């Protein structure tokens, strides 16, 4: 059974009194340990898609199935159940931590509420081991987000997301605010970690070159529609849709 299945979800916004079809009947499924890239330009609906899957927003129509069942209810218990299998990493690393709390606080919350680990000692042990995995020093944990660089913060966010052993990881443009050298390092680390833990990943990005080097499968989106999806190899070597060709052609290679 697929870890995640998305069936015909559609979503419409009202902006300036105009209806905007952010998503038009998008479907796909994600297998265990699979990394799927979603590429498209701004306004193509790729971020909206992640919001629907993560439950921040509810789609107008269509179903999202996790392990074959629709996550029910909006109460605290069902929310915790949902997020212990699904975590998300955001675009702006500095904003994804509370500016008034130390980095460690937010990690402790995740462990306490989602993994049910209450003892401080056990929490610390897990946090330290994951900080090591993302190559960050322990003393950064006691700092505030603004005292970290963007790259450090994003790595802390990765640690926070995967330390509760989720099955699905949603990544929303996680490196677009970072420099290329940092991006390269983070992507390598992330790939190693998700392979180790067999996490399924949805990797949203505007950079098709980055996606092609990281993902097993690619979905190309345009104006809220999925124009093409398939294995990375197929899309890279024999793209079917015109738009994919344009996108590939736009990559300025060295």
Provide the binding-site residues for another protein, judged by CB under 8 A.
Answer: 41-42, 54, 56, 76, 79-80, 83-84, 86-88, 90-92, 95-101, 106, 109-110, 113-114, 146, 157, 160, 179-181, 183-185, 206-210, 212-213, 232-233, 236-237, 246-254
Nearer to another protein, 60 or 216 (CB): 216
Nearer to another protein, 41 or 198 (CB): 41
Q: What is the closest distance, in whole angstroms, from the C-beta atom of residue 200 to another protein in the complex?
A: 16
Q: What is the closest distance, in whole angstroms, from the C-beta atom of residue 37 to another protein in the complex?
A: 11
Nearer to another protein, 198 or 242 (CB): 242
In this structure, what are the phi and psi dihedrals at residue 47, rounded to the nearest 5 degrees? Answer: -70, -40
* CB-based contact 89:158 (threshold 8 Å): yes
168-172/86-89 β-pairing: parallel
Nearer to another protein, 25 or 143 (CB): 143
Q: What is the closest distance, in whole angstroms, from the C-beta atom of residue 28 to another protein in the complex?
A: 21
Using CA atoms, how far apart are residues 8 and 1, in angstroms rounded to an integer? Answer: 18
Residue 231 has a CB neighbour count (10 Å cut-off) of 12
Residue 202 pairs with which residues in a beta bridge?
36, 170
Nearer to another protein, 14 or 180 (CB): 180
Q: What is the closest distance, in whole angstroms, from the C-beta atom of residue 90 to another protein in the complex?
A: 4
Q: What is the closest distance, in whole angstroms, from the C-beta atom of residue 36 to another protein in the complex?
A: 15
Residue 30 has a CB neighbour count (10 Å cut-off) of 21
Nearer to another protein, 28 or 90 (CB): 90
Q: What is the closest distance, in whole angstroms, from the C-beta atom of residue 193 to another protein in the complex?
A: 18
Using CA atoms, how far apart are residues 249 and 245, in angstroms rounded to an integer? Answer: 6
In this structure, what are the phi and psi dihedrals at residue 165, rounded to the nearest 5 degrees? Answer: 55, 60
Nearer to another protein, 57 or 60 (CB): 57
Q: What is the closest distance, in whole angstroms, from the C-beta atom of residue 114 to another protein in the complex?
A: 4
Using CA atoms, how far apart are residues 117 and 114, in angstroms rounded to an integer? Answer: 8
Residue with token string 């950064």: 140
Using CA atoms, how far apart are residues 39 and 22, in angstroms rounded to an integer? Answer: 15
Buried b (16+ CB within 10 A) or exposed e, 90-102: bbebbebbeeeeb
Using CA atoms, how far apart are residues 27 and 5, in angstroms rounded to an integer? Answer: 8
């Amino acid at each position: 059974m697929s870890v995640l299945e998305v069936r015909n979800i559609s979503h419409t916004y009202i902006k300036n009194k105009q209806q905007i079809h952010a998503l038009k009947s998008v479907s796909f499924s994600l297998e265990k340990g699979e990394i799927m890239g979603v590429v498209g330009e701004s306004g193509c609906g790729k971020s909206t898609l992640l919001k629907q899957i993560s439950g921040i927003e509810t789609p107008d129509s269509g179903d999202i199935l996790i392990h074959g069942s629709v996550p029910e209810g909006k109460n605290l218990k069902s929310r915790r159940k949902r997020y212990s299998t699904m975590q998300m990493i955001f675009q702006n690393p500095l904003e994804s931590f509370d500016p008034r709390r130390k980095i460690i606080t937010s990690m402790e919350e995740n462990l306490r509420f989602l993994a049910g680990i209450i003892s401080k000692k056990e929490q610390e042990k897990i946090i330290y081991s994951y900080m090591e995995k993302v190559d960050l020093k322990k003393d950064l944990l006691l700092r505030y987000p603004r005292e970290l660089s963007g790259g450090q913060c994003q790595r802390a966010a990765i640690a926070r997301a995967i330390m509760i052993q989720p099955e699905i990881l949603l990544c929303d443009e996680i490196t677009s605010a970072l420099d290329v050298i940092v991006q390269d390092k983070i992507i390598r680390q992330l790939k190693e970690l998700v392979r180790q833990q067999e996490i399924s990943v949805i990797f949203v990005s505007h950079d098709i070159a980055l996606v092609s080097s990281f993902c097993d499968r690619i979905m190309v989106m345009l104006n809220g529609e999925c124009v093409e999806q398939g294995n990375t190899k197929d899309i890279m070597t024999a793209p079917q849709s015109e738009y994919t060709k344009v996108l590939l052609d736009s990559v300025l290679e060295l």
